[in-house]
Copies of this chain bind each other. A is one copy, B any other.
């Protein structure tokens, strides 16, 4: 059963991808409707008919980012054999993805709605929740390392996860400032140097 009425003249998924890149590069408030419609190649009525509003479009853009680029970063948590390997893979994948020349640098979830302004409070809260969710995922993976004996008893796995997430968030800033992949990888290696001291004895 095909859709009734005049068919959509643009590819919704492709237009959403373009919108995601605009939000990624300019942020939620920095991306104007003109920026979006020009990048998506459609008129504003088509945007509103297909996505509802600028804020709803942003939510879909975030969901797309999380399920694609974001997914690559956090996939390392399930692919590695050890907790250390999970953190290492997570940071190395971050270094790679934050410095691709064909995409905006840094992380959309971290950079696109940092400030508390008038109408964007709900969206900002959702992004904060997403960041906390990621921290929780990393903490659970690290806790497995504590259960398996890889990490010494008494180590605060939640704080350990928060530390590495903090480094990754700093890497978003560094990437925005122009840091290349090699530099980001060196930052990641520096953070990984703390793994031994942080996991062998109670802090």
B contact residues around A176 at 8 Å (CB): 114
Instruction: List 10 additional A-B contacts (Cβ < 8 Å) besides A128-B178, A163-B187.
Output: A26-B116, A27-B114, A27-B115, A110-B173, A114-B176, A132-B177, A162-B186, A162-B187, A193-B198, A196-B197
CB distance B111 to A114 under 8 Å?
yes
- The segment from A39-47, A64-72, A164-172 that touches chain B is A164-172
By secondary structure, the A interface counts as: helix
Q: Is there a chain B Cβ closer than 8 Å to A190's Cβ?
A: yes
CB distance A173 to B29 under 8 Å?
no
As for how many copies of this chain the complex holds, the number is 2
Contact residues of A between 156 and 203, Cβ < 8 Å to B: 156, 159-160, 162-163, 165-174, 176-178, 183, 186-187, 189-191, 193-194, 196-198, 203
CB-CB under 8 A for A163 and B177, given A26-B117, A27-B114, A27-B115: no
CB distance A30 to B115 under 8 Å?
yes
**What is the minimal beta-carbon distance from A198 to any residue of chain B, in angstroms?**
5
CB distance A190 to B160 under 8 Å?
yes
Residues on A close to B: CB < 8 A? 25-27, 29-30, 110-111, 114-117, 128, 131-132, 156, 159-160, 162-163, 165-174, 176-178, 183, 186-187, 189-191, 193-194, 196-198, 203
CB distance B189 to A191 under 8 Å?
no
Complex CA gap A162/B191 in Å reads 11
B contact residues around A165 at 8 Å (CB): 170
B contact residues around A27 at 8 Å (CB): 114-115, 117
B contact residues around A186 at 8 Å (CB): 156, 159, 162-163
Residue in B closest to A129 when the chains form the complex, CB atoms:
B177
**What is the minimal beta-carbon distance from A36 to any residue of chain B, in angstroms?**
13
